[in-house]
C-alpha cells in the first residue's frame, strides 16, 4: 500500500542534501536542518490524519450504500399503491 512517508522522506532528504552542500555557515545550516526535520514531522502527521479521514469517510459511505441496497423497493411500492387505492375508494 502507498504511504506518503516515503515520498515525504525523499523530499526532505533532498532538502537536507541541498543545505549540506551549499550552506557553509554551521549555525545557519543547523537551523535549516532543524526546520526541515520539524517540517517533515508535521507533514507526516498531516498526511496520516488526511489518510485516516478518507478511510473513515470511505468506510461510512460503503456502509450507507450497503444499507440502501437492503431496502425493499418492491414492498415499499406495494405499500404506497395500497395506500393510494385505499384513499381513492372513498
Check residue 2 and give its pLDDT: 64
State if pTM tops 0.75.
Answer: no
Domain that residue 53 falls in: 4-88
| Residue 40 CB partners (closer than 8 Å, separation 6+) | 8, 9, 12
Q: What percent of the chain has pLDDT over 90?
A: 67
State residue 67's pLDDT score: 87
The domain tally of the chain equals 1
- Which has more confidence, 81 or 43? 43
Confidence of residue 88 (pLDDT cuts 50, 70, 90): low
- Which region among 3-12, 14-23, 46-55, 77-86 has the lowest average model confidence (pLDDT)? 77-86
Going from the C-alpha of 89 to that of each of 80, 82, 84, the distances in angstroms are 14, 11, 9
Averaged pLDDT for residues 56-67: 94
Residue 1 pLDDT > 60, yes or no?
no
Amino acid at each position: 500500500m502507498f504511504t506518503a512517508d516515503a515520498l515525504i522522506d525523499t523530499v526532505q532528504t533532498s532538502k537536507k542534501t541541498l543545505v549540506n552542500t551549499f550552506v557553509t555557515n554551521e549555525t545557519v545550516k543547523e537551523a535549516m536542518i532543524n526546520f526541515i526535520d520539524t517540517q517533515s514531522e508535521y507533514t507526516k502527521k498531516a498526511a496520516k490524519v488526511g489518510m485516516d479521514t478518507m478511510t473513515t469517510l470511505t468506510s461510512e459511505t460503503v456502509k450507507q450504500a450497503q444499507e440502501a441496497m437492503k431496502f425493499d423497493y418492491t414492498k415499499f411500492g406495494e405499500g404506497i399503491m395500497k395506500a393510494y387505492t385505499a384513499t381513492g375508494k372513498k
